[in-house]
Amino acid sequence: MRKFAFRAPGRVNLIGEHTDYNGGFVLPAAIDLYTTAVAESIDEPRLVIHSSNFNETHEFNIEDETPRGDWTDYPRGVYVMLRRAGVKLTGANLAIRGDVPLGAGLSSSASIEVAVASSLIALDLSEDEKPTTQKSLNLALLCQKAENEFTEARCGIMDQFIAVHGLVGRAIMLDCETLHHTPAPIPTGLSLVIANTMVKHALAGGEYNQRRSECESAAKKLGVPSLRHATLAMLPTARLAPSELRRARHNITENTRVLQFVEAAKHNDLATLGQLMAASHASLRDDFEVSCPELNAMVEAAQTLPGLIGARMTGGGFGGSTINLVHTEDVPAFREQLAAAYQRLTSITPQIIVTKASAGVHACSI
């Protein structure tokens, strides 16, 4: 039996939220929290999936392509899409473990998908081929397709892309329409501090898909292929519903903020970085309406703390995490004081994670 292991990272998005499925710009970084998937070939037509995190094992016939509506849909969706794409898979044992917090807006789902896909692809190699990391757009696109079609989450390409292509010490500026991407600097002396609110509101899944539908409807009424091509000048005369107007305005202004953020980072303009992050959070809160009281409390609690450059929600919203850019020497005090302030405001103990931009998917020891 052949056996291979790959690990894929979670991600944090510095700026550019809900723009990826509208063909816009995003600025994610892979983080040093990973999902590891170990795939072993077996001579039986079954897929056996074990999760250390859930302490569960489930078995499926490989011809069964019916989603179950639980965590197994993420690895199974990848398995189904690989077989449809012509990867010669028979049976397999999959063992999955990870330290990307679930439901925290850090893309644990994409890290599972990319790790599983990479380990399963390695099983398809001939005996004399050495498994290599599948750093290709096709891998990211296949994993996105699995999430869109098998779990019915209409996500854009950002999460799977950064799980494949993440770079140590760099964010990546991604054009989600053309998939052109360039490394983007994170100013020296700054740390990425993720603050997990420990809240995930139940309406997130349906609301996410609703936001995407509203964006598509707005683009159609504006006569553009996606909101990437809309401008603020188009909005006053467009016959948009109030919610469509707000969604369009967020996307237009957020795309501009991503481009400005990259330029400010190149010039070490920390004040502008902070202003752009604040404007992004306000737009997500008021125009895109995907924030929540806990996210707002976390952002507000950070404002007067030592070392803060900027804070905003990150990820799909309705709970999850904020991203804070903080002077590295101030991180210990910032971390302690943010946790205490948030707990005072909400009576919830948060999870504060200090992370760094890290590598994308790669082979690892079993």
The fold of the 190-355 domain, in CATH, is Alpha-Beta Plaits (3.30.70)
What pLDDT does 128 receive? 46
Active-site positions read 159
Beta strands 319-327 and 91-98 are unpaired
Q: What is the CA radius of gyration of the chain?
A: 20
Q: Give the per-residue pLDDT at 133.
A: 46
Residue range 221-241: average pLDDT? 97
Q: Angle 292-298-299 (CA atoms, 0-180°, nearest 5)?
A: 90
Q: Is the pTM of this model over 0.75?
A: yes
Q: The tokens 């970085």 sit on which residue? A: 273
Mean pLDDT of the 26-41 span:
97
pLDDT at 353 over 50: yes
Nearest Cα residue to 31 out of 130, 167, 156: 167
Indicate if the pLDDT at residue 8 is higher than 60: yes
Q: Which two tokens stand for residue 146?
A: 């699995």
* Between 128 and 288, residue with greater pLDDT: 288
Residue 12: pLDDT over 70: yes
Domain range 3-185+359-363, CATH class: alpha beta
Confidence band of 136 (pLDDT split at 50, 70, 90): confident
pLDDT of the residue at 104: 85
Q: Kindly tell me if the per-residue pLDDT of 137 is higher than 80.
A: no
Which of 22, 6, 23 shows the shortest CA–CA distance to 363? 6
Does the pLDDT value for residue 143 go beyond 60? yes
In this predicted structure, the answer to whether residue 131 has a pLDDT above a threshold of 80 is no
Residue 202: what pLDDT? 56
Output the DSSP codes for 209-248.
HHHHHHHHHHHHHHTSSSGGG--GGGTTTS---HHHHHHH
For 59-97, write each residue's pLDDT tens digit: 999 998 999 989 999 999 999 999 898 888 889 999 999
Cβ atoms of 192 and 325 closer than 8 Å: yes
Domain boundaries, the chain: 3-185+359-363, 190-355
pLDDT mean across residues, the chain: 93
- Indicate whether 187 pLDDT > 60: yes
Higher pLDDT, 123 or 225: 225
Range with the lowest mean pLDDT among 107-111, 130-134, 338-342? 130-134
> How confident is the model at residue 125, as a pLDDT?
56
Predicted confidence (pLDDT) at residue 127 exceeds the cutoff of 60: no
174: pLDDT confidence band, cut at 50, 70 and 90?
very high
What is the per-residue pLDDT for 201? 67
How much is the pLDDT for 152? 80
pLDDT for 129 beyond 90: no
**By mean pLDDT, which of 144-153, 210-219, 238-247, 329-338 is the weakest?**
144-153
pLDDT of 189-208, one tens digit each? 999 999 999 998 654 568 88
- What local confidence, expressed as pLDDT, does residue 123 receive? 86
Residue 261 pLDDT: 98
- pLDDT over 90 (residue 179): yes
Summarize the confidence of residues 139-160 as an average pLDDT. Answer: 90
